[in-house]
């Protein structure tokens, strides 16, 4: 179609391209001609030509209103483009191209039709764009909701961290002075209990039992005060060479293991020497052993072992650059000492809180034991790990550096 100004249609271009693979016999020409004429009226075909293959030549068999291009020129007022191409191959081919001016009635009809088509196309395009925009909006909403949730979680975590740091600041200020003030009277009480046991060695069982209870509570109080002082200020390690067996035996000697707990020790004699501060690492192992004992009130098995850290442990520990050990030293430079129990285990939601100050699930204690252990281990260029399964037990593993000159 040809358009003038203001979207006005002024002409039409019609193209007919027909493929035919059948041959008509002379006796069937009338039947074929009638069928084509009826089809032209039914579908509103303005002009048509019917050709058939005859040998190697070309022949117009029937025509409605014209037989050659010259006839078309006479029928089209105002001239225009008229082309006929009759070329037969094996199947036959008819090509006709014709252009002519439109009448006013046709122009109005085509204009209405074109505008309707334009509206339909615009509606389809707008509908697709609207669907795309809606999907993009939904995607942005989902992304925004995710960001809001993430930001809210970060704010809550930051608020909890701020509150925790405020508590720790107050705790650090009080622990130094209060710890020393409490340690002295507790020491006097401990000496008094020792004196009473020595003087009244023939006392009845009830008296001995109560003296033991007093001594036990004094020791618990001293341990809490020690944790407070160690948390407030971790002393610089005074390292020396010591074997894993010696370190473990000294720690076990300061712990009371109940009779209903089976002690299993697996420490090879050929392990290299450790380079640590023995009192600090002894305190760590003692704390881990007592935690394991308290996790098995009804009895169980306490397993203490040592091995090269590379045996079954994946990523290399990242350690501070102290005592001659570079950042990220390889696992081959560490010995892993493990303390495992067969107790109730640790719930998954509590695993990430184990080394947070003031977190505890025990009736006694203030939640600084594991924090102090972590600080002391890291001060000795080591690392502490934990694995637990509810109902099956917990295992703490301490990675400690080897005496480098003895590797």
Domain range summary for the chain, segments of one domain joined by +: 1-131, 175-232, 240-317+330-401
Q: Which tens digit of pLDDT belongs to each residue from 353-385?
A: 887 777 776 666 666 778 888 889 998 999 999
pLDDT the model gives residue 174: 72
Q: How far apart are CA 322 and CA 275, in angstroms?
A: 12
Burial of 226 (0-12, 13-18, 19+ CB in 10 A): middle
pLDDT the model gives residue 282: 92
Low-confidence ranges of the chain (pLDDT < 70): 1-102, 118, 121, 124, 172, 175-176, 231-232, 310-332, 361-367, 405-407
Provide the token pair at 354: 């184990």
pLDDT the model gives residue 284: 92
pLDDT the model gives residue 30: 59
Residue 323 backbone class (left: φ over 0; alpha: ψ -120 to 50; beta: rest): left
Q: Topology of domain 1-131, per CATH?
A: Beta-Lactamase (3.30.450)
pLDDT the model gives residue 261: 92
Query: What separation, in Å, do the N-terminal and C-terminal C-alpha atoms of the chain show?
Result: 93
Q: How far apart are CA 355 and CA 336, in angstroms?
A: 19
pLDDT the model gives residue 395: 93
Q: How far apart are CA 178 and CA 367, in angstroms?
A: 17
- Is CATH 3.30.565.10 the classification given to domain 240-317+330-401? yes
pLDDT the model gives residue 404: 73
Q: Which tens digit of pLDDT belongs to each residue from 85-113?
A: 444 444 444 444 555 566 777 777 777 77
């Amino acid at each position: 179609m040809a358009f003038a100004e203001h979207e006005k249609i002024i002409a039409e271009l019609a193209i007919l391209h027909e493929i035919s693979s059948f041959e008509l016999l002379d006796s069937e020409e009338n039947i074929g001609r009638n069928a084509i004429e009826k089809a032209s009226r039914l579908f509103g075909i303005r002009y048509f030509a019917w050709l058939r293959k005859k040998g190697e030549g070309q022949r117009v068999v029937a025509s409605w209103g014209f037989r050659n291009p010259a006839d078309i020129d006479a029928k089209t007022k105002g001239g225009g483009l008229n082309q006929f191409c009759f070329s037969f191959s094996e199947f036959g081919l008819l090509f006709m191209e014709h252009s002519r001016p439109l009448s006013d009635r046709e122009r109005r009809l085509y204009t209405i039709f074109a505008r309707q088509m334009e509206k339909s196309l615009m509606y389809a395009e707008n509908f697709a764009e609207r669907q795309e925009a809606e999907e993009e909006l939904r995607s942005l909403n989902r992304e925004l909701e995710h960001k809001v949730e993430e930001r809210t979680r970060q704010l809550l975590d930051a608020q909890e961290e701020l509150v925790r740091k405020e508590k720790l600041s107050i705790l650090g200020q009080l622990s130094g002075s209060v710890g020393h003030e409490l340690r002295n009277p507790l020491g006097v009480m401990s000496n008094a209990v020792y004196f009473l046991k020595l003087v009244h060695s023939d006392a009845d069982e009830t008296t001995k039992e109560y003296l033991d209870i007093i001594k036990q509570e004094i020791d618990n109080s001293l341990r809490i005060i020690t944790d407070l002082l160690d948390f407030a200020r971790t002393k610089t390690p005074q390292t020396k060479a010591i074997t894993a067996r010696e370190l473990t035996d000294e720690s076990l000697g300061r712990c009371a293991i109940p009779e209903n707990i089976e002690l299993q020790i697996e420490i090879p004699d050929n392990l290299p020497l450790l380079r640590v501060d023995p009192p600090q690492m002894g305190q760590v192992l003692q704390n881990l052993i007592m935690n394991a004992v308290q996790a098995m009130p009804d009895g169980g098995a306490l397993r203490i072992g040592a091995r090269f850290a590379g045996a079954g442990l994946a990523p290399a520990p990242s350690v501070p650059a102290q005592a001659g050990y570079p950042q990220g030293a390889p696992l081959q430079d560490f010995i892993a000492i493990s303390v495992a129990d067969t107790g109730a285990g640790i719930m998954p939601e509590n695993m990430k809180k184990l080394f947070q100050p003031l977190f505890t699930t025990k009736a006694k204690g203030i939640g600084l034991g594991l924090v102090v252990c972590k600080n002391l281990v890291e001060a000795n260029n080591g690392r502490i790990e934990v694995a637990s399964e509810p109902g099956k037990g917990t295992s703490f593993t301490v990675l400690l550096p080897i005496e480098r000159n003895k590797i």
